[in-house]
Structure 1
Amino acid sequence: MAGASVCCVAQPASWCVPGTLGSLSEGSPCHHPAASSSAHATLPGGGVAWRLPSLPQTTLPACLSVPVGGHQRRYSRRLAVRGSVESPAVVPPPPVAPAAPACIVAVVGASAASPLQGEPWTAVMAHMAQRLLWTDPAFVMHVVRDTDLPPIPSSQGSAPPIVVVVGVHDDAVGQRVVQRYAEALTLMALDCGPAVEAAVRLGGSFQHPRSALAGLLAKLPWGPAAARRQLAATIGSAWGRNRADDVLFGLLLLVDAFVRPVPQLAGLRAQDLGTLQKMATKCGPQIWACLTDASCKQALDCLNACPPNDQVCSYRCIVTYESPLLEAFSLCVLQKHNCLGLHAEPPALPAVQPMAAFRGQPLTHTAAEDIFVGWLRDPARQQAGRLAWSWRVVAGVNAAYDSFPCQYQLFYRGKARNSLWYDPVFKVQKLDSGEVVWRRRHYRVRRGDAPGTFYFSVLDNGVTSNEYWRIVDCPDDLSWALFYYAGAAAAAGQAYSGAVLVTPDGDWPGKEQEERLCAALDAAGIKLWELYRVDNKSCDGAPLDISSKELSPQGVESSLFES
């Protein structure tokens, strides 16, 4: 069920059996292409080219799969976008053959608090176990409290491929954890004491060398040691950002490196020389124009400095330096020609359902659109109780897109039959100068198959994003609403999801709404500690005008107020 936390206690040798997957080799599920050096480059839209040297060959236990409910077919509907560019060059990759499940054990300090609003690490990692299953039903993680360690198994080869120790600060407890999982080839630590940190190892190689020779080899700038250092640094950087999405990203990196490739991380893999040749051939003028313009060059430098998969950093760079030249660069390199050969689809899970009824009646498409239009007044009339906006965002889940200050939502009907437009307006503090500016986007919105579901599409700085939105809940008095979305910028190889809690004034809903709000969050698979509160102070001067050329002749206001 969406939103339910899963906390499985591992039993000794009951979920992993002795055996091997064999050495990692070309064509095997765990193979990673070799590369001669390590580097990464972040591109507009969040796509990342990451060169990672091949990891050493190793053997892993064959883990038994834990039964999981049927995997919903991935969302694949294409959206026709008026005024945007569809890229026929974005071709889905071939399907990945079934492989061994990812068996992870997370050993968590029973009383440790996380930096995620102080939520206990046990609750955070239980939710991460559920989110791993939403990523792939084969990505199984068992969460074990450090006070409930199972006994050391008598048989050899029964260690899990990956052990992650979280929030274990006491060295005596840490020693017991390290001893219990001494056979695990990969052990990573998050927010732990020295005893656990000293035992960190990736693929059987300790990150803190235990001999002079090992220390010398670990300093080499190439080869397996360099690959492991970069992997450890990337995971450490992600976990150091103290965001739920980045905790999940670190876990997926471990699965990708030591069990089998994770399709969602394909954008991190290195590009070959042919990529550069294609970029120069197809988009030479756009690349040259960007590189010779100071602001556009700053944008590329800013993106290149972002850590892999840090969508917050990437989008902050984009909204700081957005310009016609940057848009032309991205439009050509990514959207029109897909020079990097990337692909992404909106996440299919959790399968969040729209609200079924509103004001005692089954929800209709028209009523759902009226909920979106919300409190917006007709610009041609002054209507009591109406506002210059539909909704204001109180809090959001996605740190990259939902946490900007002063977020206004403008939903309004267009001239075409059943057409709807969405303009989010938000404030940005530029990274280079600290200047505060307003940004605005323009989405086309189309009805989904079921009332309360919608397809959104936008051309954002040269890259098309397609999103699937659902109205999770909204009280009869329109005092608040919860909107959930899952999207992808396919040409940038970026998939994402999020949700926004909205009210007419930007304030948190009243306490009398707490139970219903928590139920809505749970239905969307969201924990309260995953929300980012939006700063709604000093929001004067927002550009909220709507062009009369795009307005429906019947007006923009919601009919929900007529009664």
Structure 2
Amino acid sequence: MLRPIIIALITAVLLVASTASTARQLPKQPKLGINPTVNLSCVEKHCVGLSAECVLDKGCRETVECSSKCFHDWDKDTSPQKFVVQNCTNKCVFTYGEEETFKDYMGCLTDNKCISFPPISSTCKASSVKPVKQLSTKSFDGKWWVQRGYHKLYDCWPCQTIELKQINETAWLYTPQYETYLVNNSLTLVTNQHFVIPNTEPGENISFIYHDMGLVHSEVWWPLDKADDESWIIMYYCGTTAQWNYEGAMVMSKIRILDLSTYKQIGASYKQAVGLDINDFCFTDTSSDCMNT
């Protein structure tokens, strides 16, 4: 769900033939991992300047070196939605690659289709979603704590909240905050993400496109059910970026820790609406002192 989610990897081939003549001695290029693959002529045509900048930028270069190692385990990773590899690449990007150099180069590669990734197949249940209640974007108004999640990486980060505020009659500002892991397994708090999503009528799904970490994401949310007292809300989502597809679901509440007794109703709603078993969801850690809320 709108994560930095699906952090795909920049190619390790950072220079093409036309940059070799530069007078400045460039750092040694990291070796290309098994995946992804890159079209060198495309890079030379569209991204040659940014490729040189990435090699010269320590953070961008280290992101490549770190994440290339993650892809060597691609074929060995049998976890759902390639959780292990995605967790590895996510750590690399948040440790080394949050500067604009990485984002700009990644955007150039993907926008011009210079890079391709090994696919993650779609398991989206779009054709079978049957919401319990007719909800809309407005149903998410306010700040919510994420209590449980279905995607084992992006929905399960600690200390996770989402906040929606209406901008005008047609749009809402969506602000997620969460802790995520670095390569040394310490946690860092992410607070700098803001996205615009459309206003919808009750019963409509929420479909939108956004850019994150240089990648274009196409995502759809299905609001499924909400407590009569508005204390919790549940949703299901699907998305795609590059050659990767993903799905997830979240249980969110207005309070920091949701009473376990409410999960009987929530579980029934998930089963009815999209066929998911609430026992397959993770519990998120909302006890952290990461936010003064």
Range of TM-score over shorter length: 0.7 to 0.9
Aligned pairs (5 A) from 1:48-447: 271=37, 275-306=39-70, 307-308=73-74, 309=82, 310-321=85-96, 322-334=98-110, 336-340=111-115, 347-353=123-129, 355-357=131-133, 363=134, 368-373=136-141, 376=142, 390-415=143-168, 417-432=169-184, 434=186, 436-447=188-199
CA distance in 1, matches of 2:268, 2:207: 24
From 479, 482, 488, give the equivalent of 2:234.
482
> Does 1:531 find its partner at 2:281?
yes
Partner of 1:171: none
C-alpha contact (below 8 Å) 1:331/1:462 kept by paired residues: yes
Distance 2:195 2:288 in 1: 26
Q: Which has the higher strand share?
A: 2
Structure 1 residue 528, shift from structure 2 partner: 2.8
Task: Look up the equivalent residue of 2:284 and give its one-letter code.
Answer: V
2:239·2:246 contact (CA, 8 Å) conserved in 1? yes
Cα distance in 2 for partners of 1:495, 1:311 equals: 12
Q: Which amino acid aligns with 2:88?
A: C
Report the equivalent of 2:263. Answer: 514
Shift of 1:465: 1.0
Query: How far did residue 344 of structure 1 move?
Result: 8.3
Q: Which amino acid in the other structure matches residue 533 of structure 1? A: F
Distance 1:493-1:468 versus aligned 2 partners, 3 A rule: same
Q: Match of 2:101, as an amino acid?
A: L
Cα 1:469/1:435, change in 2 over 3 Å = closer
- Could you tell me how far 1:345 is from its partner in structure 2? 9.1
Native 8 Å contact 1:312 1:400 kept in 2: yes
One-letter code aligned to 1:45: I
Residues 293, 432 of structure 1: alpha-carbon distance in 2 compared, 3 angstrom cutoff:
farther
Count residues in correspondence.
Answer: 252
CA contact under 8 A between 1:316 and 1:431: conserved in structure 2? yes
Residue of structure 2 equivalent to 1:495: 245
- Deviation (angstroms), 1:269: 7.5
Structure 1: how far apart are the matches of 2:210 and 2:66?
23
Does structure 2 conserve the Cα–Cα contact (< 8 Å) formed by 1:447 and 1:453?
Answer: no
CA shift, 1:515, in A, is 2.8
Deviation at 1:527, TM superposition (A): 2.1
Aligned residue for 2:198, secondary structure, equals strand
CA RMSD of aligned residues (A): 2.9
In structure 2, the gaps of 5 or more residues are 1-5, 12-33, 75-81
Equivalence map 1:457-476=2 (5 Å): 457-476=209-228
Q: What per-residue deviation string (whole Å, max 9, x for no partner) do you get for residues 163-215 of structure 1?
A: xxxxxxxxxxxxxxxxxxxxxxxxxxxxxxxxxxxxxxxxxxxxxxxxxxxxx
Percent of aligned pairs sharing the same letter: 19
Q: CA deviation at 1:474?
A: 0.8
Larger Rg: 1
The whole-number CA distance in structure 1 between the counterparts of 2:192 and 2:155 is 14
Indicate if the aligned counterparts of 2:162 and 2:174 stay in contact, CA closer than 8 A.
yes
1:231-274 CA-to-partner distances (Å, cap 9, x unmatched) read xxxxxxxxxxxxxxxxxxxxxxxxxxxxxxxxxxxxx97747xx
Change over 3 Å in CA distance of 1:442–1:270 after alignment to 2: closer
CA contact (8 A) 2:137 2:201 kept: no
Give the TM-score of the pair, scaled to structure 2. Answer: 0.75
Change (3 A) 1:469 1:399: same
Evaluate the alpha carbon distance shift between residue 431 and residue 269 of structure 1 in structure 2; reply closer, same or farther with a 3 A threshold.
Answer: closer
Matched residue SS, 1:351: helix
Tell me, yes or no, if the aligned pair for 1:503 and 1:509 is still in contact at 8 Å: no
Report the counterpart of residue 249 of structure 1 in structure 2.
none
Q: Which amino acid aligns with 1:351?
A: S
Match of residue 24 from structure 2: none
Question: In 2, Cα distance between the equivalents of 1:420 and 1:270?
Answer: 35
Preserved contact between residue 397 and residue 498 of structure 1 (Cα < 8 Å): yes
Matched, 1:46 2:8: yes
Unaligned runs of 5+ in 1: 1-43, 50-267, 358-362, 377-389, 545-563
Amino acid at match of 1:495: N
Name which structure has the greater RCO, CA cutoff 8 Å, separation 6+.
2
CA distance in 1, matches of 2:216, 2:193: 12
Instruction: Give me the whole-angstrom Cα distance separating, in 1, the residues matched to 2:69 and 2:248.
Output: 25
SS at match of 2:115: coil
**3-state SS of 2:127 partner:** coil
Aligned-partner Cα distance in 1 for 2:219–2:256 = 24
**In 1, Cα distance between the equivalents of 2:202 and 2:288?**
39
C-alpha offsets along residues 81-124 of structure 1, whole Å, 9 cap, x if unaligned? Answer: xxxxxxxxxxxxxxxxxxxxxxxxxxxxxxxxxxxxxxxxxxxx
Per-residue deviation, residues 301-335 of structure 1 (Å, max 9, x unmatched): 2211113242222223223332111101111011x
CA contact (8 A) 1:467 1:485 kept: yes
Q: Distance between the aligned counterparts of 1:424 and 1:352, measured in 2?
A: 27
| Displacement after TM superposition at 1:449 (Å) | 7.7
8 Å Cα contact 1:354/1:451 also seen in 2:
no
Amino acid across the alignment from 1:332: C
CA contact (8 A) 2:36 2:115 kept: no
Give the alignment's TM-score, normalised by structure 1.
0.41
CA distance in 2, matches of 1:320, 1:454: 32
